Amino acid sequence: MPKQPKLTVILSELDTLIKPHEERLVLRFAQQAEDAGYDGIHIIDHVVMGPHSDFKGLPDNPRAFRWVGNQRPDQHMPSQIVMMSAIAAVTSRIRLHATATLVPLRPPLLNAKQWATLDLISGGRLTITPIAGWQQEEYAAFGIPFEERSRRLDEQLEIMRLVWRETPASYEGKFYRFKDIYVMPKPVQPGGPEIIIGGDRMSKKVIERIVRYGAGYTLTSAPDAESLALLGAEMRKAGRDVSALKTSGLVFPVFTHPAKPADLARSIEASVPPFVEAGVHSITIKPSQFIDDPGEMPAFLREVDRRIEALVCTP
């Protein structure tokens, strides 16, 4: 019998579920997810939005996923690190996923210190999915060349791993350099917070990052057999076991009407069975795609768990 995946929830971009002044409800949602036995919550990152962040047009249903080029410039997007720190303070077990973190927008030593501090105060519950991002206007607002974002991300990953382990630390790169620097406190997790590598596909660069830094990976498109074979070969070269990598699946909403929430039963039936068959470590769902009333959250979380458990247990 397939093993039941762990469940995680996205608690960002909830403007169809809560009003901007109700952002504190996210803390209650996190507590409710923890009480329901969920494994993790995801908070997504954007610092600013540019006037053309919707250059591909807005989705027909406002509850749909926010992807590249379909996001309103004025969407409500609280600070990722602040929200996760607040959630850490009101929970005790659930894992904190800093998802789609735009690492190159911030100085690397600031990144390292903030995440180490959050890992410390949460008792080692932090997972980071660092990305380079897609929005040119966001980089322009920070005066960082958009075309440098991937190379800056690579140096940032090196620096964070370095200063989480060593004190003092020195680094000499193309974009960042420092000598005999003390970054304190250190994280609780040995070597630093868990890192999940994200990307739109399993490119050679993504594979390189997975092998060097990743406890797992998450992609917006399914990897092909050739890419998986290359990942396995590179992991073996590095003395790592590819089967130990954490993988995840995302429940895609099935909307039957552009003005109404998605159909939960049809969405789970369409998305989940292939993930269960593949043995993914976790499955992620975004509650605001399925409910419009915050009071329905506890019942919704239980229903998702019940439906996925039923799928796993069905012969």
- Confidence at residue 33, expressed as pLDDT on a 0 to 100 scale: 98
∠ Cα 183 188 191 (to 5°):
70
- Confidence at residue 315, expressed as pLDDT on a 0 to 100 scale: 62
Give yes or no for residue 283 having a pLDDT over 90. Answer: yes
d(CA 222, CA 219): 7
What are the residue ranges spanned by the domains of the chain? 39-261
Cross-strand bridge partners of residue 314: none
3-state secondary structure of 282: strand
pLDDT digits (tens, 9 = 90+) for 41-97: 999 999 999 999 999 999 999 999 999 999 999 999 999 999 999 999 999 999 999
Specify burial of residue 207 (Cβ count, 10 A radius: 0-12, 13-18, 19+): buried
d(CA 166, CA 188): 14
39-261 homologous superfamily: Luciferase-like domain (3.20.20.30)
Report, as an integer, the average pLDDT of 298-302: 98
Predicted confidence band of residue 186 (pLDDT cuts 50, 70, 90): very high
Give yes or no for residue 106 having a pLDDT over 80. Answer: yes
Contact 244, 231 (CB under 8 A): no
End-to-end, the C-alpha distance of the chain in Å comes to 8
Number of neighbouring beta carbons within 10 Å of residue 23: 14
Give yes or no for residue 255 having a pLDDT over 90. Answer: yes
Give yes or no for residue 1 having a pLDDT over 60. Answer: no
pLDDT digits (tens, 9 = 90+) for 206-232: 999 999 999 999 987 778 889 999 999
pLDDT digits (tens, 9 = 90+) for 2-54: 688 999 999 999 999 999 999 999 999 999 999 999 999 999 999 999 999 99
- Confidence at residue 220, expressed as pLDDT on a 0 to 100 scale: 74
- Confidence at residue 286, expressed as pLDDT on a 0 to 100 scale: 98
